[in-house]
Amino acid sequence: MVLYAGDGATSAELDDLKARYKRPTAIPFPEAAPYSPQLATLGKMLFFDPRLSGKQNLSCASCHNPSFGFEVPVAGAIGATNTPLGRKAPTVLNAAWIPTLFWDGRAPDLETQAMGPITADAEMDGKFPEIIARLKGTPEYAAWFAKLFPGKGVTQEAILTAIATYERTVVSGWAPFDRWVDGDEAAMAPAAQRGFALFNGKAGCAGCHTGWNFTDNQFHDLGLPTKDIGRAAFEPDAPLARHAFKTPGLRNLTYRAPFGHAGQFANLESIVDFYETGGIVRPSKSPLMKPLRLAPEERADLIAVLRSLTAEQTRTALPNLPN
């Protein structure tokens, strides 16, 4: 799908294209869990608190570490059973805009998602009755919950709501790309500008990586060699669901290697090499995946635009946890 003709395009066409990548001005919080700074602060404490795990040794941040773009620099994160998980921990950056969570989209919202890792024995191996008792027994936590959830206090639902609210505040910062889209021509190098044309044109990347977070939030089989059936676990009859995974957003890639649902790509160069092959031919493969011929300078331009989506590393202050 060619959205953009590169050199042949008029400046009006380029402006139109840029408009599709403009950053949103506000975070979408659901009506059931409106934002409050206190709720987000409580959620942040819980996100960093190992007491949410069975052995009190793993927190969400163990596998979603701010220094690594809210991921970990390994293919399979290590959970409670001390063996690597079969899938890579995806980022929680910009999760507020992601309608279905997990690589196969099995969670409909962040609240439901957060229950998964807390209770999964291979991840945090926690039990809610124990976690609730622990938090209730910590006076400062009990006071936070009593204030923010009047009449309810520490409950499973309150814990999940607080964590999800914090996650919605984790938004990738302004990158050179955003300043360029906003009208500052000099903010992004010419190589990356040429890469943006390729991304939307000949290379066909924008067929799936669209909008300011660079994802259509859909599931696609790229033709990767994998035994993981992906989305087909939930849509067994959909012909294109086999080996299909959710399109990941492309923000802050520089901090997030390795890449892909199994961390199978060590770096951006190896991903672009893969896209050039067009993937394995099989019935479920996305029709958008076709072999691609890039000249060496085009390859470099494409990688330049991917790098320009990374914001400067911001400081994430560690919360002091109550005890």
Q: What does the binding site for ligand HEC look like in residue numbers (CB under 6 A)? A: 58, 60, 62-64, 77, 79, 85, 87, 89-90, 92, 95, 98, 101-103, 110, 113-114, 117-118, 123-124, 163, 167, 203-205, 207-209, 220, 222, 224, 245, 247-248, 250, 253, 256, 259-261, 268, 271-272, 275, 286, 288-289, 302, 306
Smallest separation, CB 192 to ligand HEC (Å): 12
For the chain, the distance separating the N- and C-terminal CA atoms, rounded to the nearest angstrom, is: 56
Of 265, 220, 216, which Cα lies nearest the Cα of 241? 220
User: Which of 126/153 has CB closer to ligand HEC?
Assistant: 126
Of 170, 172, 159, which Cα lies nearest the Cα of 124? 159
CA distance 271 to 297: 16
User: Which of 58/148 has CB closer to ligand HEC?
Assistant: 58
Please enumerate in sequence order all residues whose Cβ is within 8 A of that of 108, keeping only pairs 6 or more positions apart, or say none. Answer: 99, 100, 101
Cα atoms in the Cβ-side hemisphere of radius 13 Å centred on 114? 27
26-32-35 Cα angle (round to 5): 40
Smallest separation, CB 178 to ligand HEC (Å): 18
Taking the CB of residue 91, how many other CB atoms lie within 10 A of it?
Answer: 22
Smallest separation, CB 206 to ligand HEC (Å): 8
User: Which of 14/226 has CB closer to ligand HEC?
Assistant: 226
Smallest separation, CB 320 to ligand HEC (Å): 19
User: Which of 83/184 has CB closer to ligand HEC?
Assistant: 83
The number of residues in the chain equals 323
CA distance 139 to 128: 18
User: Which of 184/277 has CB closer to ligand HEC?
Assistant: 277
User: What six digits make up the tokens of 188?
Assistant: 């992004």
CA distance 189 to 74: 30
Smallest separation, CB 36 to ligand HEC (Å): 18
User: Which of 79/153 has CB closer to ligand HEC?
Assistant: 79
Smallest separation, CB 293 to ligand HEC (Å): 12
Smallest separation, CB 289 to ligand HEC (Å): 5
Contact yes or no for 50/170 (Cβ under 8 A): no
User: What six digits make up the tokens of 46?
Assistant: 């819980």
User: Which of 165/183 has CB closer to ligand HEC?
Assistant: 165
CA distance 14 to 316: 35
User: What six digits make up the tokens of 281?
Assistant: 């031919």
Smallest separation, CB 205 to ligand HEC (Å): 3
User: Which of 92/187 has CB closer to ligand HEC?
Assistant: 92
CA distance 108 to 66: 24
